[in-house]
């Protein structure tokens, strides 16, 4: 029976080969869009190997990720504003339930832009916040757009900058342990869910 190291090696190979695929950038845009609007699959899982494979294009790759995420944020807003009674409610149940949603609405009432900045930068499921933004009648689309751009840019440009600034040594180190890094990213996502549960 294959051990953990074998599974990690397979995962690393798959992520690395995906990063070199001709459709890797459109896939990154799509993953970032989905993460910000419906299902919380961290785009970092694809962003990291893409930057490792093409370090000279790191900030362009991060920009594609940001663009996908901001587009997804606006879709999430539209779901909250117009489709909440059907699709929106189902997604909220999947992403943490009514208590979590009510907590996010309270945060918006206290500081909408600050809430979006924190949500965009951290591992807290961003789609909960974008759907809630559309449902929250007093929150303007421009506020969502500003918060999403700033929060996502801070997160993804910083990640790209760290990988580039670290030079070949840090890139080789991350690439060698890419599967373990991906698992850590997923654990941060789980921690984001737990944090929302604890705070709500």
Q: Are 163 and 54 in contact (CB under 8 A)?
A: no
Question: pTM of this prediction?
Answer: 0.76
Q: What is the mean pLDDT of the chain?
A: 76
Which letter does DSSP use for residue 177 in this model? T
Q: Is 54 helix (H, G, I), strand (E, B) or coil?
A: coil
pLDDT exceeds cutoff 50 at 4: no
pLDDT of residue 112: 83
Q: Which of 117, 126, 154, 95 is nearest to 31 (CA)?
A: 126
- Residue 94 falls within a domain, yes or no? yes
Q: Is residue 11 part of a domain?
A: no
pLDDT tens column, 30-83: 989 998 988 777 888 888 888 888 889 999 999 999 999 999 999 999 888 887
Other CB atoms within 10 A of residue 7 CB: 11
**Which among 169, 112, 118, 162 has a CA at the least distance from the CA of 138?**
112
In a domain, 13, yes or no: no
Scored b (16 or more CB within 10 A) or e, 13-43 reads: eebbebbeeeebbebbbbbbbbbbbbebebb
In a domain, 191, yes or no: yes
In a domain, 80, yes or no: yes
* Distance separating alpha carbons of residues 14 and 9, to the nearest angstrom: 9
Mean pLDDT of 92-105: 68
The upper half-sphere exposure of residue 17, i.e. CA atoms within 13 Å in the direction of its Cβ, equals 6
Of the chain, the percentage scoring pLDDT greater than 90 comes to 18
User: Does the residue 3 lie in any domain?
Assistant: no
Domain hosting residue 136, numbered range:
23-199
Question: Is 7 a domain residue?
Answer: no
Q: Report yes or no on 103 lying in a domain.
A: yes
Backbone angles phi and psi of 6, in degrees to 5: -65, -45
Q: What is the pLDDT of residue 9?
A: 46
As for how many domains the chain has, the answer is 1
pLDDT tens digits, one per residue of 157-198: 988 998 888 767 666 666 665 555 555 655 555 555 555 555
């Amino acid at each position: 029976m294959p051990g953990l190291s074998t599974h990690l090696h397979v995962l690393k190979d798959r992520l690395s080969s995906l990063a070199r695929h001709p459709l890797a950038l459109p896939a990154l845009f799509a993953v970032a869009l989905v993460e910000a609007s419906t299902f919380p699959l961290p785009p970092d899982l694809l962003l990291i190997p893409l930057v490792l494979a093409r370090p000279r294009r790191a900030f362009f790759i991060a920009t594609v990720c940001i663009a996908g995420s901001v587009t997804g944020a606006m879709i999430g807003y539209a779901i909250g504003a117009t489709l909440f009674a059907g699709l929106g409610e189902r997604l909220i149940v999947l992403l943490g339930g009514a208590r979590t949603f009510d907590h996010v609405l309270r945060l918006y009432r206290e500081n909408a832009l600050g809430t979006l900045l924190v949500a965009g930068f951290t591992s807290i499921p961003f789609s909960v916040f974008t759907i809630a933004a559309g449902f929250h009648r007093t929150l303007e689309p421009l506020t969502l757009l500003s918060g999403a751009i700033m929060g996502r840019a801070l997160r993804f440009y910083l990640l790209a900058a760290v990988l580039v600034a670290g030079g070949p040594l840090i890139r080789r180190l991350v690439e060698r342990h890419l599967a373990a890094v991906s698992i850590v990213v997923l654990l941060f996502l789980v921690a984001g869910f737990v944090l929302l549960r604890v705070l709500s």
